[in-house]
Structure 1
Amino acid sequence: MRLDRNLCHLRIWAAIAVIALLPCAASAGPITPERIAASLPKLEALAEAAVTDGAVPGLAIAVVHGDEVIFLKGFGHREAGKPESVDADTVFQIASLSKPVSATIVAALVSDGAVSWNSKIADLDPAFRLAEPYPTSELTIRDLFSHRSGLPGTAGDDLEDIGYDRAEILRRLRFVPPSSSFRAGYSYSNFGLTEGAVAASMPTGKSWEDVAEEKLYRPLGMASTSSRHADFVKHVNRAALHVRVDGAWAAKIRRDPDAQAPAGGVSSTARDLAQWVRLLLGDGVYAGKALIAADALDQTHVPLMTRGKNPVSGGESFYGLGWNVEFGRHGLSWGHAGAFSVGARTLVTIFPKEKLGIVILANAFPTGVPEGLSDSFADLVFDGAVERDWVKAWGTIYSGMFGPVVEAAKATFAVPPSPSRPARPASAYAGRYANDFIGEADVSSAGDSLVLKVGPAGARSYSLTHFDGDLFLTYPDAEMPDRPTGVSFAVGPDGKASAITIGFLDDNHLGTLRRVATRLAETGHPRRPACSRRVAKQSRTVGSPC
């Protein structure tokens, strides 16, 4: 369960309500350039303290006021335990901060007349399908960038986990039942937004990655920014991803997000992203040149979908097109967070009325440092003093984010039932299973255990340990290696398993695969019994009748 799957846009409002925020402080007077300048040394001290205290190994910050970058600095280290320092040109993986960047790129295409926000996906990418015909025919770029297509939030993330590429993931979204009626519900979808971006680029005849470079990165001189992971790893001055291991930060895991590049695959620097913020604060004008029409950009900040109550102001929190739109303690703000639970945290916050923006990039998870520093800076600018220790408050929230999930999973599988039921012979479970969404799974014996292989050509392999009866356990999450997940078999009258339900691929009730007699076709499009799609849709239960 990666955070880029579920929480990149800070979908944690319900959780952070427990912070018990204080009433709005009275303004300390008009915001002036002098007030903003006076806040910068205090912001710097807070950032240095966060690194010194071990809240994050390294971070970089850019502050923009009007058309001027007024603060740009790195803190800490690119990798824990190594001497190389973070600076303004250190390249970070920015996770879901990619979404507003991609919205800006699409706005450039809209400005050029290549597409409109209301262009239909059926016209741009006729091969793309949702599960139902009417939404498929009416779906627009606007729908996908505002997360109102009906696609469940995790749709496609599971396929990315097991090795499928972007094209195959987008093709298989047609098998995912909707989580809400079309345009009636908000569900934050990485691959929904990815399809919106890819479709928007199609009239150009170029890849999304090339369009991003042509329409945004190159015109703004963002020479260290890319939507390709291969470009990120070429940089010597790049930040490693960090997670906590035995209480200390460790660079353990790498993350290649190319499949969802528009939603989470951008890599950039504080210096480069400051240029992007200049463009936004200039309403599409950069260095005196009009690059994007203001009305095309303005549409990205129109609140379209409600995300629930903002715990700071008590008002509604909204989503526009790749942007959070907030009405909080300090008035209107646009923002977006990014997170890889394998080790990245990022944030942009813009106060459009004040023409003020801040970007914070950090190389670790869990940490609330970006939000803590952003809130502290806003307090300094608007009120003249920091209201509370925001870094600590946000750090507490993020530190506890996965603990309950892991502990609940451990408790569920802590002790087998008594008396426990033995497993059947390995031959009862071994074989091939398939459905349209997951594709093929192969189960084979390996000594005293079973091995499950899934993904294209069995790209991912998981050891299965017996728990009880026909239920086995595996540990699929690199970021939560001690969290068990169930893998269960339904065994027929002949003593052989007729189906397998893979718990970590069952978020959308599509983790049940039926036994197949022959290997799949080379295309990777599995053939399965006519009833099995209905079984996968209607229930998690392996033994659902056909």
Structure 2
Amino acid sequence: MRPLVQTILLICIISFGYAQKKVASPPTDPLVGFDNFVNQMLIEWRVPGAAVGIVKDGKILYTKGYGFKDLKNNLPVTAQTLFPIASCTKSFTATALGILADEGKLDWNKPVKDYLPDFQLHDEYATRIITARDLVSHRTGLPRHDWTWLYANLDRQSLYQRLKYLPLSKPVYAQYQYNNLMYMTAGVLIERISGKSWENFLREKILSPLEMKQTVLAYPELFQSSDYSLSYRDNNGQWLEQGFGSNIDAIGPAGSIKSNVVDMSHWLLMQLGKGKFGNQQIISETNLKETHTPHIIVSPAEITFSELGYASYGMGWNINTYRGFLRLSHNGSIEGFRSQMTFFPNQNFGVVVLTNTGAVDYYFVNSICNYIADKWLNLPVIDWASRLKTAQAEAKAKQQKTKDENASKRKSDTKPSQKLSSYRGKYEHPAYGSFVLETRGDEEFIGVFHNLPFTLQHYHYDVFEGTGAFDQAKFDFRINATGDIDRVVVTLANAGDIEFKKTAP
């Protein structure tokens, strides 16, 4: 019996030792096979070019470019290639406010009106109580109204002065409403308090100490670089250059930064480093935490995948959980470019992905970011590409359903109340600007808004439907007491009903 006991004991010890060794063995290097994965995603999602940066434990672990920044000339993306990062800029503006708070020049909770006496919204109550914190947490009640600035020939100050003509769609604090114009206003606030332009403040207080040496803030600077990406749109399977005419520089604090994955890795290191980069404290840990703190629930409150928690918004950051881990992130979209930056503060890990097409929206960047997260968090890898392809198909089906429902609501056998020439003329709004309508054919108008062409086709009665710049927007023409067409109410997504008055025949 004794030899048998010894044998069993020996087997148990060996087994235990093997088990201990197996558990203690280090995980596979997360970067093994990563290049192949990214290149495969470029093919599957049809993305011309991208760049990826990864940081961990205070160090840059990976920066690399994939695909092409210029298809015509076969120029590859590099780790230094500049991309417009669009709304990823918002975290920089929120941080700039935090720096002013560190300097004792800004109180997060003090009304903006106290710093900007000329600040004026359409709603007087909102004008009096909105704070700097509110400007950058999307809770002012102002909807996007993006057509006030997109492709318009207006500068920042002109847009700021037009805020008073834009109706709020919700009471202050009532609901999350993403808004670029309020971030632009935060930039004006920075300028007034500091005595420096938003651009110069960022260069001095953020870009220079972070050694973001290649990052630029306006297109003229970008075009002086020898390494920047073009953007592309899909035209029936063919890539066409999208161009740079959006006027994003005018609302710079909301989205005008152009950077690369090397410089953006420095940005993530500072976010993970409690406001410190190298030996320099860029922003205090206290005020950096303010930007990382949830301020409002993102509406609608929904969980698209079981691995994701409910989303909230801080100041320049979306905040939720990914597979149980706290995650902060932000994405950006302008002129075909798509960007995504993500970090996990408790794991001291972050990633940035920059791309040059909007043809697949954020599906590609999310596929990359989620894959990297799974690898570095040492979790079973989820096939996010397949999941997101299903989500993409469902989104397209939903869009088609909306179009079908729109067509079904059209009242047939109706006609305009007046001859078509009566609707021609110039229509103006004090914030949105103007457009001129000319007739084309028996039931169609052509027009130009902010240098973008559009057409109007008869929908029913005195309602016309837009194409081009005003795709699917309804134009409801109204008649005055004398029976003349004197205005048109245009229903715009993320803005509501905007009335343009007829000022010339």
Aligned alpha-carbon RMSD (Å): 3.0
User: Does structure 1 residue 272 correspond to structure 2 residue 263?
Assistant: yes
Q: Residue 224 in 1 paired to residue 214 in 2?
A: yes
Q: SS in structure 2 opposite 1:348? A: strand
Q: Tell me if structure 1 keeps the 8 A contact 2:150–2:248.
A: no
Contact 1:141 1:200 in 2 (8 A): no
Residue 236 of structure 1 deviates from its aligned partner by 3.1
Q: 1:118 aligns with which of 109, 118, 122?
A: 109
Specify the alignment match of 2:370 in structure 1.
375
TM-score normalised by L of structure 2: 0.85
SS of aligned partner of 2:53: strand
- Is residue 212–residue 266 contact of structure 2 (8 Å, CA) maintained in 1? yes
Structure 2 counterpart of 1:432: 426
Q: Does the aligned pair in 2 maintain the 1:372–1:393 contact within 8 Å?
A: no
* Sequence identity percentage: 25
Deviations 1:285-310 (A, max 9, x none): 21222222111111111111112244
Match of 1:322 among 316, 321, 330: 316
Q: Secondary structure at the match of 2:196?
A: coil
- How far apart are residue 328 of structure 1 and its match? 2.9
| 1:374-413 mapped onto 2 (5 Å cutoff) | 374-386=369-381, 388-398=382-392, 401=395, 404-405=398-399, 408-409=402-403, 412=406
Query: 1:223 and 1:395 mapped to 2: Cα distance?
Result: 37
| Alignment-derived partner of residue 191 in structure 2 | 201
- Seen in structure 2, the aligned counterparts of structure 1 residues 453 and 53 have a Cα distance that, compared at 3 Å, is closer
Does the Cα contact within 8 Å between 1:43 and 1:376 map onto a contact in 2? no
Shift of 1:422: 6.1
Between the two proteins, the alignment pairs up a number of residues equal to: 476
Corresponding letter in the other structure for 2:150: D
Q: Which runs of 5+ in 2 are unaligned?
A: 1-21
Q: How does 1:47-446 map to 2 (within 5 A)?
A: 47-80=38-71, 82-152=73-143, 154-155=144-145, 157-161=146-150, 163=152, 164-254=154-244, 255-307=246-298, 308-310=301-303, 311-313=305-307, 315-340=309-334, 342-365=335-358, 366-367=360-361, 368-386=363-381, 388-398=382-392, 401=395, 404-405=398-399, 408-409=402-403, 412=406, 418-421=412-415, 424-445=418-439
Q: How does 1:521-536 map to 2 (within 5 A)?
A: none
Equivalent in the alignment of 1:24: none
8 Å CA contact retained: 2:449, 2:469: no
Alignment match of 1:476 (pick from 465, 468, 477): 468
Structure 1 residue 442 displacement after superposition: 3.3
Q: Give the deviation of 1:495 after TM superposition.
A: 5.2
Aligned to 2:488: 500
Contact map agreement 2:207 2:215 (CA 8 A) in 1:
yes
**SS of equivalent residue, structure 2 residue 168:** coil
Pairwise CA distance, 1:75: 0.6
Judged with a 3 Å threshold, the aligned counterparts in structure 2 of structure 1 residues 484 and 139 are, in CA distance, closer, same or farther, namely closer
Distance 1:139 1:61, change over 3 A: same
Query: How far apart in 2 are the matches of 1:498 and 1:357?
Result: 55
Shift of 1:323: 0.7
5+ residue gaps, structure 1:
1-27, 519-546
**Secondary structure, counterpart of 2:120 in structure 1:** coil
The residue aligned with 1:487 is 475
Shift of 1:324: 1.2
**Partner AA of 2:149 in structure 1:** E
Shift of 1:280: 1.5
Scaled by the length of structure 1, the TM-score of the pair is 0.79
In the alignment, residue 159 of structure 1 is paired with which amino acid?
T
CA contact (8 A) 2:93 2:186 kept: no
Judged with a 3 Å threshold, the aligned counterparts in structure 2 of structure 1 residues 81 and 517 are, in CA distance, closer, same or farther, namely closer
- Once residues 422 and 104 of structure 1 are traced to their aligned partners in structure 2, the CA distance between those partners, rounded to angstroms, is 53
1 CA distance for matches of 2:428 and 2:118?
A: 23
In 2, Cα distance between the equivalents of 1:125 and 1:89? 39
The aligned residue for residue 512 of structure 1 is 499
TM alignment of 1:441-460, pairs within 5 A: 441-445=435-439, 450-454=445-449, 459-460=451-452
Residue 123 of structure 2 aligns with an amino acid whose one-letter code is E
Which residue type is aligned with residue 477 of structure 2? Answer: F
Structure 1, 328-337 or 174-183: larger mean CA deviation: 174-183
Following superposition, the deviation at residue 186 of structure 1 comes to 1.5
> Residue 252 of structure 2 aligns to a residue in which SS?
helix
Q: What displacement does 1:38 show? A: 0.6
Q: CA deviation at 1:191?
A: 1.1
Change (3 A) 1:271 1:162: closer
1:109-154: CA deviation from partner (whole Å, max 9, x where unpaired): 32233323234311222111122223212211111111111112x2
Match of 1:535 in 2: none
1:348-405 per-position Cα deviation (integer Å, ceiling 9, x unaligned)? 111111111111111111241211111111111223541x211332344346546643
CA spacing shift, 1:331–1:484, aligned 2, 3 Å: closer
Q: Give the Cα–Cα distance (whole angstroms) in 2 for the partners of residues 127 and 404 of structure 1.
A: 43
Q: 1:208, CA displacement in angstroms?
A: 0.9
The 1:239–1:414 alpha-carbon spacing in structure 2 relative to 1, beyond 3 Å, is farther
Distance 1:265 1:485, change over 3 A: same
